[in-house]
Amino acid sequence: MNSKKFATQVIHSGDQAVQQTNPIFPPITTASTFVQPNIGEFGDFNYSRCDNPTRSAYESALAELEGGVYATATASGMAATALALELFPADSHAIVMSSVYGGTHRLFETLRSRTSGMSFSYVDLNDLAAVEACIQPNTQFIWIETPTNPLLELVDIEAVCQLAKQRELVSIVDNTFSTAWNQQPLALGADIVMLSTSKYIGGHSDLIGGALIAADKALAQQLDRCKTTVGAIASPFDSYLALRGLKTLDIRMERQSSNALKVAQWLEQQPTIEQVYYPGLETHPQHALCLKQMRTGGAVVSVRLKGDEEAVKQFVGKLQYFMLAESLGGVESMINHAATMSHAGVPEAEREKMGIYYQTLRLSVGIEDADDLIADLEQALNS
């Protein structure tokens, strides 16, 4: 049986067998090192920075779900992003989606450009002519984020990856907001997928983690060598939690995305809302692209409120079910204020150039009843 549906894959993907004791779920193996039979003789595991049974089971599941040949689980999503950069020479140039996540922008601009001489050009990746114009002799990769955080702009993955292959560039896709449940970048031509597994993979707001998944063996070997050298690995406990969370990814994403569409449709009718950002809405300028490469519009809805800063604070302060918190993707609904949270490190002028204002809010829609979530938003907007 080679054609497992996604709902079956999340339960049975990868190599999760533990032959010695035959448990139904891989246990947490906390050992830092493993006994060798003799000099020059090695077992499946030798040192946990290189490989660990719990992490290996989790990584094999991620690789299968994303359609890759290899996955490495890291200590955080930012650790995964930083690890991906280790693949490239110090003076490399990269082309990056213009509205990239604030943490990624911070890593690129305040750290890597200063410490390793890397340079980055930010452009709307849907403008292929602009992408072509940015390519330099030392350009090594294109960093794609789709949907973007927090304005949910989409990138045509297939088109950009095709261009990257023509110019012999590596294409890396941040698939955090979608996961393999909603879109599969490797099947659309991407070379590497990056995930912040703290979000939908774990799904319960109880772990920090990241992952990189490679499409081919050559990249897999390079990533594995970098991972072992740098040691940017997920702990056995976080790997265990993430694999446990992964089991319910299908049913969680289905409920959360369904709720998000209902919330977005309701918000679109409210006079106190300046703009709703949700690719699942027919009014979204990239709705056709959403239908082309995504299963649904996802589980995140962003809005721009009317009113001043005080109006924004009053609205957020009245919410009962949408909790003000960093991150997203948990079973509980959360609200994020981009200007002071996810994009706090981006200068105000640059934020507003991206279209992110003080009035911009990102809603991570949970698995609660959609009517209750809408009622919560209604009382906060109108009371």
Residue 372 designated active-site: no
The tokens describing 379, both together, are 């009382």
CA-nearest of 155, 124, 128, 381 to 276 is 381
Provide φ and ψ at 14, rounded to 5°. 70, -165
The tokens describing 369, both together, are 């009843």
**Given 174, 191, 238, 376, the catalytic residue:** 174
Separate counts of helices (H) and strands (E) for the chain: 15, 12
**Given 55, 112, 199, 255, the catalytic residue:** 199
The tokens describing 186, both together, are 């490797």
The tokens describing 22, both together, are 């035959």
Helices (H), 142-301: 157-166, 179-182, 217-230, 236-246, 249-267, 287-293
CA-nearest of 188, 172, 184 to 140 is 172
Residue 174 designated active-site: yes
Provide φ and ψ at 324, rounded to 5°. -75, 115
CA-nearest of 277, 269, 334 to 304 is 277
Residue 101 designated active-site: yes
Q: For residues 74 and 197, what is the distance between their CA atoms, to the nearest angstrom? A: 9
3-class secondary structure, 193: strand
Residue 122 designated active-site: no
**Given 101, 240, 277, 278, the catalytic residue:** 101
Three-state secondary structure string covering 18-66? CCCCCCCCCCCCCCCECCCCECCECCCCCECCCCCHHHHHHHHHHHHHH
Q: For residues 41 and 55, what is the distance between their CA atoms, to the nearest angstrom? A: 22
Give the helix, strand, coil percentages of the chain, each rounded to 5: 40, 15, 45
**Residues labelled catalytic:** 49, 101, 174, 199
